Amino acid sequence: MKTATSRVRGVEHDIVQMPQAGDKAPYYEPQGNEVAIFEAAYKRRLPVMLKGPTGCGKTRFLEYMAFQLKRPLVTVSCHEDLTSSDLVGRFLLEGSETVWHDGPLTRAVKAGAVCYLDEIVEARTDSTVVIHSLTDHRRKLTIEKKGQEIDAHEDFMLVISYNPGYQTVLKDLKPSTKQRFVAINFDFPPEDVERKILLQEVPGTKADIAEKLVAIGRKARLLKDHGLEESTSTRALVYAASMMGAGLDPVAACQVAMVNPITDDIELHDALMEIVQAHFA
């Protein structure tokens, strides 16, 4: 599917990309009032935190919103070794000169983009404090190494995502960071919405297949308390539908897309497969 950030395949392009006329809007199916909330937050340029399980549509939502608001989207996937220079920028040697290179955050601040720090808890807390001054009334980014400050572009907006699973107990965000954000809770969409998503995402999916997949997803999520770290996501349902669309048998498609990836536990695997088989008997 064509989106704003992937116009030309296999060609480098700048991370700051304004949506262009003629781009197709990313597909997103609202679950509730999250669009209105985001628009309101954008109007006041308040930073937003997206909370929710993996694969429920946080990133897609943001792509959609950035497109709707006609802002470029800069995404940074956070990891353990992410330093503040990775966000802000660093000096690099070019020939005999040293040149300052802006990091993605700085680029976004300057260009008035939406900067999206995905899975922010993965980053070390000391590298995430750089966003503090951006997230309150100051809206400033301090570039320590250059001894500079940048007032953020008036359209700049900061968004973080955060998955409150139990594997992040020790890596929780600092309360002082958390309370700077407007938080939108995401969960897997209601059944009718999820069906619509499947039909949209995988054109050619039959209505009854979509219905079964959604029903399987629903049942599979009930097993969360039995040792699944992540429950069956909407994304997994989409994958299963895609695999079926590519000609795979439904049970096999579900197994490879929805069961095998999330568990190594034999009993859980069997229970999940029971659910799949019941629906596709």
Partner 1 sequence: MKITPAITEAVARLKDLSVVAHREVEQVLPAILPHGEAVTLQWLAACTALFSFERDAGKAFIRGSLEAEKVSETVLPWTEQALAFMQWRASWRALEGFMANVARAYGSLGHAGEARWAKLGFVWCARQIESGAAYFSTPVLDLAGRHGGITAIEQLATPADELYESRKLMLATYLPGAIRVRNLLGAQAILPWASRGADIMQSGRARGEAYFRLESEESLSLLLEHLPGYRLTDRNRLLGMLLDVWFGGEFELKESAWSPEKGRPFIETDGKSIYFPAVMADREEAILALLHTAGHMYYRTFSRAAMQEMFAEAKIEFPQKGAVSWAPLFMRFGDDALRFQLIFDLCEDLRIDFRVQDNVPNYLKRMCNAAHGLGVRHPESQGYYELALESVEAALAHRAGAPADPRFAPLFAEDATVATAYRVAGTLYEKSKLTPVTDLEAFYAAYLPGRSPNATRMAHPQESDDEQDQSQPGAEQNSQQQDEGGEETEAPQNAESGEEQGDGDQKEMPSYGDSSGQSARASSQGDKEGANHGSSDKGIPYPEWDYRESRYKRNWSWVQEKRLAESNMGETVRLMKQYAVALKRLKKAIQSQKPTRTAPLTQQLDGDDMDLNAVVSYVAEKRAGQSPRPNIYKRREIRQREVAVTLLADMSTSIMQHLPEGGGRLVDRVRAGVLLFAESMEEVGDAYSIAGFCSKYRDNVSYYMLKDFDETLSEDIRAQIGGMSGRLATRMGAAIRHATASFEGVESRRRLLLLLSDGRPEDYDDGGDRRYLHEDTRMAVKEAVAKGVHPFCITVDTMANQYLPQIFGPGHYLVLDHINSLPNKLPEIYLRLRR
Binding pattern to partner 1, positions 203-242, x when CB under 8 A? ---------x--x---xx-xx-xxx---------------
Under the criterion CB under 8 A, does residue 267 sit at the interface with partner 1?
yes
Q: Which amino acid is at 184?
A: I
Side-chain half-sphere exposure of 14, counting CA atoms within 13 A? 11
Nearer to partner 1, 1 or 169 (CB): 169
Candidates 169, 203, 208, 247; binder of partner 1 (CB under 8 A) is 169
In whole angstroms, the minimum distance from the beta carbon of 171 to partner 1 comes to 8
CB nearer partner 1, residue 58 or residue 71? 58
Contact between 49 and partner 1 per CB under 8 A:
no
164 sits near partner 1 (criterion: CB under 8 A)? yes
Q: Is 142 in the site for partner 1 (CB under 8 A)?
A: no
Site string for partner 1, 90-109 (x = CB under 8 A): xxxx---xx-x---------
Asked whether position 143 contacts partner 1 by CB under 8 A, the answer is no
Over the range 128-165, which residues count as b (16 or more CB within 10 Å of their CB) and which as e?
bebbeebbeeebebbbeeeeeebebbebbbbbbbbbee
Pick 169 or 246: Cβ nearer partner 1: 169
Interface contacts to partner 1, rule CB under 8 A? 85, 90-93, 97-98, 100, 145, 164-170, 172, 212, 215, 219-220, 222-223, 225-227, 267-268, 270-271, 274-275, 278-279, 281
